[in-house]
Structures are given as structure tokens and as C-alpha cells.
């Protein structure tokens, strides 16, 4: 059996220096972080209708609350890349995860629309920090392996989404209160994340002195605008399903609360299959043809629920939408990191800023009050991307 290297770069650690976790151990740890992040977000996504009912919010008022997600992420994104460069991805990841899961546990406790908006802003800000830091960790592990593994991490995110959404759907069907559901979920995920944090990838050697310096704001350079635009298109469609998928199924197709919560699970299932098979298909078809195929599959998935407003059609459409958009983000992040190898965190943050990673979205019209019509066209917005 082949012995694995003692450091991330495949070299024996020098005397007096602590050994780095082995690549396989780091891979498992980073994969666990991706899983936790996906599960936490899906927990929220699956219970959006319940939160809406608890506070008696209209579709328009819910859209206002979701602006908190956008505001929190926009506030954090320009800073996260610089924080990763100065303090390291592990520090940012641990801090962001604490805020992320703490905010998740607070969501069922809010008394009104204003408090929900503020809690969602903190939730998004923590998610943004975790998102950039864990993708930076993923790139470090990929470099340690010397072959592509980033797609597998994103598959773990989707698996977490399936687990979180399925648990949310089952909890809603069983009448489990949102407060108990979110609190238990946050505590379990925090325990998993804390364990994984002990085996994260080490930071690359610092150059130019013991402390990193540079701008805190991560703004996209000329080479990152196109990857950022690609990320924007993919994540706009994903954001529609994240935030409006369950609500659409419940209000437009008449799905039960449990079935509506499972909508995000089938979308995540499509993402998992797409990400696990993306590398092989890309090698066989070539990047251009593979990208075109992804666009066709995603467009078809977005159209199906519009043409047939039934729960079954919604599930089929969300699955195809997940399949079509699955491979885009791992490819964009890996490409951005390769463009600036010494600035992985800021590159990923800059591309995420253009892509509005993990935000509630759709074009502005999706956030205006409009009841069922707004929700229907929220799903349609992904088609034009």
C-alpha cells in the first residue's frame, strides 16, 4: 500500500514543523464542510413556507425579507477575499461557520419582518465567508492531489442539500416545529464542522514576511470578468430555486408542505449527479459542447414547470435544472484560482461577487409583490440565462 505524503504538497515536513494532515484526511474534512454548508442552507430553503406562514407574510413581504440575504452577502463578499489572504482560509471558515449556524438557529425566533430580514443578513454574511473559505480549501486540496477534485466537493454540498431538504420536508410533514428543527440541526452541523476543522488543509507558505498584507476589498480584475459573468448566469437560476422553489410548488401546484420542501431535494439530486459525472463528460465531449449541453438541459428544466403547473412537473423540472447547472461553478472557481495561484481566496471572492453566490434571486421583478404570478415567473427567470 502506497504511503501518502506528510504535507499537502507531497513533501516531508521539515524538522520542528507540525505535520500537515494527509491529503485524504484533508479531502474528507473539506468534503464534510461542504456537506454541512449545503445542509444548513437547505434546512432554511425547505422551511421557507413555514417561516412565511408563522409570520403571516405575503409573497411580496417574503421578497423584502429575502433582500436581507442579498444585503448580507453583498456586505461580506468584497471583504472575505482580503480576510482569507490576511488571516487564512481556516480562520475565516471557522468564524464564518459559527455565524452561519448561529443565524440559522435564530431564524425561528424572530418576531417580525424586520427581525427576519436582519437574521437573514447575518445568515448570508456567514454563508459568504464559509463559501469563499471552503472553496479556497478545496483548491488547496486539489493542488495537493495534483488532479481535479473540486467537483466532488461541490457534489458534497449538493448531498448536504439533499439531506437538509429531505429532513426539512419530513419534519414539516410530521408537524415538527421550526424552532426545534432548526436548533437541533444547527447543533448537529456545528459538531460535524468543529470536528472537520481539525484536519483542514494548511495555508501555503507566506512570502514577503510573516504577515500578509494587501487590499481587503476583493474586486474582479480584467481576467475575472468573464468567469464572473458565467457564475452570475448559473447562480441566478440556482438562487430562484433556492428561495422560490418550495413556495412555487406550494402555491402554484397545490403541493403539501412536505412535498414542497422536497422540491429543493430533487434539485440537489440533479446537482449531485451532474457534478459527479461532469469531469468525465467534459473530457468526452469537450468544454464547448459540454457547456452547450448543460444550457439545453437547464433551459428545458426551467420551462417544464411553466408549461405544466403540477407537482410532478415541478420535480422533473427542478431535477433537470440541477443537472444542467451542476458543473458550471466548480469549473469557474477552479479557473479563477488558476489565473492567480497566489491569490486564491480573493479570486474566488471576486468571482463569487459577480455570481452572487448563494443569494436569493432572480431579476428585480421577482422581488416585487405580485403573488402567484411573481412566483411563476421567478422560476421562468432561469430560462433566459
Phi and psi torsions of 43, nearest 5°: -60, -45
Q: Which is more confident, 149 or 194? A: 194
Q: What confidence tier does 195 reach under pLDDT thresholds 50, 70, 90?
A: very high
Write down the pLDDT at residue 6: 43
Q: Which is more confident, 39 or 82? A: 39
Where do the structural domains in the chain lie, given as residue ranges? 23-200+216-380
The span from the CA of 266 to the CA of 331, in Å, is 22
Q: What are the tens digits of pLDDT across the range 276-334? A: 888 778 777 876 787 788 888 988 888 888 888 899 998 999 999 899 888 888 777 77
Which range of 47-51, 117-121, 159-163, 373-377 scores highest in mean pLDDT? It is 117-121
Which class would CATH give 23-200+216-380? Answer: mainly alpha
Write down the pLDDT at residue 381: 53
Write down the pLDDT at residue 196: 97
Mean pLDDT lowest for which of 36-50, 127-141, 198-212, 348-362?
Answer: 348-362
The span from the CA of 360 to the CA of 116, in Å, is 14
One-letter-per-residue 3-state SS of the chain: CCCCCCCCCCCCCCCCCCCCCCHHHHHHHHHHHHHHHHHHHHHHHHCHHHHHHHCCCCHHHHHHHHHHHHHHHHHHHHHHHHHHHHHCHHHHHHHHHHHHHHHHHHHHHCCCHHHHHHHHHHHHHHHHHHHHHHHHHHHHHHHHHCCCCHHHHHHHHHHHHHHHHHHHHHHHHCCCCHHHHHHHHHHHHHHHHHHHHCCCCCCCCCCCCCCCCCCCCCCCCHHHHHHHHHHHHHHHHHHHHHHHHHHHHHHHCCCCHHHHHHHHHHHHHHHHHHHHHHHHHHHHHCHHHHHHHHHHHHHHHHHHHHHCCCHHHHHHHHHHHHHHHCCHHHHHHHHHHHHCHHHHHHHHHHHHHHHCCCCCCCCHHHHCCCHHHHHHHHHHCCCCC
Cα angle vertex 134, ends 132, 139, to 5°? 95
Write down the pLDDT at residue 384: 53
Cβ contact 131:79 at 8 Å: no
The span from the CA of 224 to the CA of 332, in Å, is 10
Q: What confidence tier does 209 reach under pLDDT thresholds 50, 70, 90?
A: very low
Q: What confidence tier does 1 reach under pLDDT thresholds 50, 70, 90?
A: very low
What's the mean pLDDT when you consider all of the chain?
79
Is the pLDDT at 357 greater than 50, yes or no?
no
Mean pLDDT lowest for which of 57-66, 82-91, 247-256, 280-289?
Answer: 280-289
Is the pLDDT at 344 greater than 80, yes or no?
no
Write down the pLDDT at residue 329: 80
Q: What confidence tier does 4 reach under pLDDT thresholds 50, 70, 90?
A: very low
Q: What confidence tier does 363 reach under pLDDT thresholds 50, 70, 90?
A: very low
Is the pLDDT at 181 greater than 60, yes or no?
yes
Is the pLDDT at 14 greater than 90, yes or no?
no
Q: Which three cell numbers stand for residue 9?
A: 504538497
Q: What are the tens digits of pLDDT across the range 85-139? A: 888 899 999 999 999 999 999 999 999 999 999 999 999 999 999 998 999 999 8
Amino acid at each position: 500500500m502506497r504511503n501518502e505524503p506528510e504535507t499537502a504538497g507531497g513533501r516531508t515536513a521539515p524538522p520542528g514543523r507540525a505535520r500537515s494532515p494527509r491529503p485524504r484526511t484533508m479531502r474528507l474534512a473539506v468534503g464534510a464542510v461542504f456537506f454541512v454548508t449545503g445542509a444548513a442552507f437547505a434546512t432554511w430553503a425547505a422551511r421557507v413556507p413555514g417561516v412565511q406562514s408563522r409570520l403571516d407574510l405575503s409573497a411580496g413581504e417574503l421578497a423584502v425579507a429575502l433582500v436581507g440575504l442579498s444585503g448580507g452577502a453583498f456586505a461580506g463578499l468584497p471583504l472575505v477575499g482580503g480576510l482569507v489572504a490576511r488571516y487564512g482560509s481556516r480562520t475565516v471558515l471557522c468564524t464564518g461557520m459559527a455565524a452561519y449556524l448561529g443565524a440559522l438557529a435564530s431564524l425561528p425566533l424572530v418576531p417580525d419582518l424586520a427581525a427576519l430580514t436582519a437574521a437573514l443578513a447575518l445568515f448570508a454574511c456567514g454563508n459568504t465567508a464559509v463559501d469563499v473559505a471552503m472553496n479556497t480549501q478545496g483548491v488547496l486540496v486539489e493542488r495537493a492531489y495534483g488532479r481535479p477534485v473540486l467537483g466532488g466537493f461541490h457534489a458534497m454540498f449538493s448531498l448536504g442539500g439533499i439531506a437538509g431538504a429531505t429532513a426539512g420536508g419530513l419534519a414539516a410533514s410530521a408537524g415538527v416545529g421550526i424552532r426545534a428543527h432548526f436548533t437541533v440541526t444547527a447543533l448537529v452541523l456545528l459538531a460535524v464542522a468543529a470536528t472537520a476543522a481539525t484536519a483542514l488543509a494548511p495555508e501555503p507558505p507566506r512570502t514577503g514576511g510573516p504577515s500578509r498584507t494587501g487590499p481587503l476589498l476583493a474586486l474582479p480584475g480584467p481576467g475575472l470578468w468573464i468567469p464572473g459573468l458565467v457564475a452570475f448566469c448559473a447562480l441566478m437560476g440556482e438562487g430562484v430555486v433556492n428561495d422560490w422553489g418550495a413556495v412555487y410548488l406550494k402555491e402554484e401546484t397545490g403541493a403539501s408542505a412536505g412535498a414542497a420542501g422536497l422540491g429543493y431535494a430533487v434539485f440537489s439530486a440533479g446537482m449531485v449527479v451532474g457534478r459527479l459525472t461532469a469531469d468525465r463528460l467534459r473530457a468526452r465531449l469537450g468544454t464547448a459542447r459540454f457547456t452547450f449541453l448543460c444550457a439545453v438541459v437547464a433551459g428545458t428544466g426551467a420551462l417544464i414547470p411553466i408549461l405544466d403547473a403540477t407537482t410532478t412537473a415541478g420535480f422533473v423540472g427542478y431535477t433537470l435544472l440541477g443537472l444542467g447547472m451542476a458543473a458550471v461553478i466548480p469549473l469557474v472557481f477552479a479557473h479563477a484560482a488558476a489565473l492567480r495561484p497566489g491569490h486564491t481566496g480573493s479570486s474566488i471572492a471576486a468571482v463569487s461577487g459577480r455570481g452572487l453566490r448563494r443569494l436569493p434571486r432572480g431579476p428585480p421583478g421577482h422581488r416585487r409583490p405580485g403573488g402567484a404570478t411573481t412566483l411563476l415567473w421567478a422560476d421562468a427567470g432561469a430560462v433566459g440565462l
